[in-house]
Structure 1
Amino acid sequence: MTAETAVVLPVLVVFAMALVWGLLVVAAQIQCVDAARTGARAAARQDPVGAVVEVAREAAPRGARVTVSREAGLVRVVVVADPPALHGLPFEVREEAVASVEQTVGAAPAGAES
């Protein structure tokens, strides 16, 4: 009985640690999704790029990199973060959100003349 316990217990501990690490990665992915969406909403309102990056970083995991780009009436926010806990692993948690740029209040619609 002692030999079986000595073999099974370390396997259970490793399995439990892998589950916890997996949950941490999923939580970081969800934070990246929220950060990208928050940043895309701010960029769609035509907030300054610095403000968009700051808003996205507040919602993102610690140390995340935020990129904002604008192209043809669309804004794209990309949030990339390293996985939590085991930093030596060769993958990243990444999310991207795209939004259509909103018209500003009082601005003439596209193609209209004043």
Structure 2
Amino acid sequence: MARRSGVDRSGDRGAVTAEVALAVPALTAVLGLALWAVGAAGLAMDCTDAARAGARAAARGDSEAAVRALIARTGPDGAAVSLERAGDLVTVTVRARAAGPGPVPLPALTVRGSAVAQVER
């Protein structure tokens, strides 16, 4: 067997396989976490959109039950809603839980969105 650089590489057999065997699961985990983070960011935007719709409805003078029903229709499933009135301002906050990524036992993340509107006269 001819040596090209004067280095015997016969002991390196299987090294690439071992490196790939370690790299693929790590890359898969990173991709899964990235997709979960994008999903959580989308859920936060859904909360903000629902809070804006609820704040507009509350500012128009809709009842609290109507505002909550609107948020339940437009917001994420199982979202918690809080409404606060302080003078001329109505603040609506919508919170939802983003479950942990896949089968990994990580705690769920709570995301929220809020909106403030001035009461219309």
Q: Deviations over 1:40-65 (max 9, x none)?
A: 00000000100101111222211100
Superposition pairs of residues 15-30 of structure 1, within 5 angstroms = 15-30=30-45
TM-score, with length taken from structure 2: 0.78
Q: Which runs of 5+ in 1 are unaligned?
A: 104-114
Aligned length: 103
Deviations 1:52-104 (A, max 9, x none): 0111122221110011122211111110111134495264101211110001x
- State the TM-score, normalized to the length of structure 1: 0.83
Unaligned stretches of 5+ residues in structure 2? 1-15
Which deviates the most, 22-31 or 88-97?
88-97
Give structure 1 regions of 4+ aligned residues with deviation exceeding 4 angstroms: 85-88
- Paired residue for 1:71? 86
Q: Which has the larger radius of gyration?
A: 2
C-alpha distance in 2 between matches for 1:41 and 1:24 = 26
- Indicate the RMSD between aligned Cα atoms, in angstroms: 1.6
Percent of aligned pairs with the same amino acid: 38
